[in-house]
């Protein structure tokens, strides 16, 4: 704390922000010592208290929000909606509920007449996971996705009658993930291929958010050409930024899907997913190690050899050491710090509670842990890992293994029909061609 004060002694506001955090850390340390030293305290209670102290050691947030924005219309920008839905899937898998996600999609690619797989969006040629899914909740769609509406979401300055589902009801203890993807350039991002939002516009909105106590920390991600310049004008504290490309660089796609006929994902998103899919947000013991993965680990994994551009974080307005910032501080949910059945006990329990049978208390804790693990297992099954999505080959012939394509001698029925049509119509086409030559 003293070191932090020394580093920020010229900023009275920054120094004042450190004092509540110092008091909170001291209180947690005292509570942990009392709980561990009190007679009759079960091992499960001490473990729960330790887990809570670990959660608050480097962060003061109590809830998480995600604002995910695809700004591109038109079919050839398919990969941008796949990028956005990939982040949407990741934050939901790690525990952020739809009630705390604002999803903005500028076009309805799933229902486009050119989509070979109606109602579905894929981020890989393997097409193993439908990113559109059955439980997607789009808050702003089509022409609702505008610079004005994005700024209204950030600042919570909506017209009267705007429903709750279209509002980001953040507070001073909210960690916010803000992700933008589309086409852009030096300090601007295009909306609908017609309008633009500037770095200065976003910077002023973030300043309003901080003044109105609408976030504790904010992670800004831009995936567009010259993406890092979108954070060039930021001046609000506690904002960590990263772009998929540097000034003068393009943000490149990763691969095509021949059936869809387009690029289906960008390189930055692809390799971010590759990292995030090993991060687990559950309460099971096997999830503990990856839950401590830091944003520094994530940033280091985005090498230039992979992304083909310079994805470097901007820490100008961010004070914390990136090695102490866990990816789940922004991509996960603070609500996953589950208390044990008997509470935190220790010195705060009554004498009669401390005299309860230790065996019964341990059984309660074991039951609670099992229920938490089962709940997370169900979520993991719904949002299963993407190894097969990232690395599987193209199953074009056996899509979803439906086996309903009729073939003869290993030749697909569609190709046989094409051959027959060519043979049948070839003489007529040749005769028509000769007639036209004689006429002209």
pLDDT digits 0-9 by tens, 79-132: 999 999 999 999 999 999 999 999 999 988 999 999 999 999 999 999 989 999
pLDDT digits (tens, 9 = 90+) for 23-32: 555 555 655 5
pLDDT digits (tens, 9 = 90+) for 399-428: 444 444 444 455 556 567 667 777 777 788
Average pLDDT, the chain: 78
The yes/no answer on whether domain 62-283+290-331 falls in CATH 3.40.50.1460 is: yes
Write down the pLDDT at residue 420. Answer: 75
How many CB atoms neighbour CB 141 within 10 A? 13
Radius of gyration of the chain (CA): 27
Tell me how far apart the alpha carbons of residues 376 and 382 are, in angstroms, rounded to a whole number.
10
Write down the pLDDT at residue 431. Answer: 83
For 269-306, give one letter per residue: b (16+ CB within 10 A) or e: bbbbbbbbbebbbbbbeebeebbebbbbbbbebbeeee
Q: Which residues are catalytic?
A: 183, 225
Task: Spell out the residues 6+ positions from residue 48 whose beta carbon is closer than 8 angstroms to its own.
Answer: 339, 340, 344, 365
CB 310 within 8 A of CB 300: no
Q: Which sequence spans correspond to the domains of the chain? A: 62-283+290-331
Which residue would you say has higher pLDDT here, 415 or 170? 170
Q: Is the pLDDT of residue 348 over 50?
A: no
Write down the pLDDT at residue 133. Answer: 85
* Residue 264: both structure tokens together: 């289906």
The mean-pLDDT minimum among 138-147, 207-216, 298-307, 401-410 falls in 401-410
* Residue 261: both structure tokens together: 């006929």
Write down the pLDDT at residue 282. Answer: 53
Tell me how far apart the alpha carbons of residues 211 and 187 are, in angstroms, rounded to a whole number.
23
CB 239 within 8 A of CB 318: yes
Q: Is the pLDDT of residue 383 over 70?
A: no
Which residue would you say has higher pLDDT here, 401 or 183? 183
* Residue 352: both structure tokens together: 């009669």
* Residue 114: both structure tokens together: 């050119």
How many CB atoms neighbour CB 364 within 10 A? 16
3-state secondary structure of 57: helix
Q: Choose among 174, 60, 148, 164: nearest CA to 102.
A: 164
């Amino acid at each position: 704390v003293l070191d932090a004060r020394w580093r920020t002694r010229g900023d009275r506001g920054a120094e004042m922000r450190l004092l509540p955090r110092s008091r909170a850390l001291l209180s947690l340390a005292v509570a942990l010592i009392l709980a561990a030293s009190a007679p009759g305290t079960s091992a499960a209670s001490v473990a729960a208290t330790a887990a809570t102290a670990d959660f608050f050691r480097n962060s003061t947030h109590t809830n998480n929000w995600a604002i995910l924005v695809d700004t591109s219309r038109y079919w050839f920008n398919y990969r941008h909606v796949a990028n956005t839905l990939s982040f949407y899937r990741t934050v939901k898998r790690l525990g952020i509920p739809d009630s705390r996600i604002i999803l903005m999609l500028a076009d309805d690619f799933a229902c486009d007449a050119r989509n070979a797989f109606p109602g579905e969006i894929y981020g890989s040629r393997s097409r193993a996971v439908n990113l559109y899914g059955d439980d997607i909740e789009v808050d702003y769609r089509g022409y609702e996705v505008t610079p004005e509406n994005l700024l209204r979401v950030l600042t919570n300055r909506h017209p009267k009658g705007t429903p709750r589902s279209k509002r980001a009801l953040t507070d001073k203890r909210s960690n916010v993930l803000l992700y933008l993807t589309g086409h852009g350039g030096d300090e601007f991002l295009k909306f609908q291929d017609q309008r633009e939002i500037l770095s200065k516009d976003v910077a002023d909105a973030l300043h309003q958010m901080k003044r109105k106590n609408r976030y504790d920390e904010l992670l800004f991600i831009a995936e567009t050409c010259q993406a890092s310049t979108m954070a060039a004008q930021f001046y609000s504290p506690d904002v960590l930024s990263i772009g998929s490309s540097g000034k003068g660089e393009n943000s490149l796609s990763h691969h095509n899907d021949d059936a869809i006929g387009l690029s289906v994902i960008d390189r930055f998103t692809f390799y971010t997913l590759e990292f995030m899919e090993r991060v687990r947000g559950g309460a099971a013991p096997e999830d503990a190690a990856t839950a401590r993965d830091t944003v520094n680990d994530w940033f280091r994994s985005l090498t230039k050899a992979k992304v083909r551009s310079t994805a470097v974080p901007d820490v100008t307005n961010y004070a914390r050491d990136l090695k102490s910032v866990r990816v789940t501080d922004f991509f996960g949910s603070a609500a996953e710090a589950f208390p044990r059945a008997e509470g935190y006990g220790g010195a705060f329990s009554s004498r009669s509670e401390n005299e309860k049978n230790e065996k019964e208390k341990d059984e309660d804790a074991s039951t609670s842990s099992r229920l938490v693990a089962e709940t997370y297992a169900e979520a993991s099954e719904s949002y299963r890992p993407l190894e097969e999505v990232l690395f599987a080959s193209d199953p074009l012939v056996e899509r979803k293994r439906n086996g309903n394509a009729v073939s003869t001698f290993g030749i697909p029925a569609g190709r046989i029909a094409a051959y027959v049509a060519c043979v049948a119509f070839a003489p007529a086409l040749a005769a028509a061609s000769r007639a036209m030559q004689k006429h002209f």
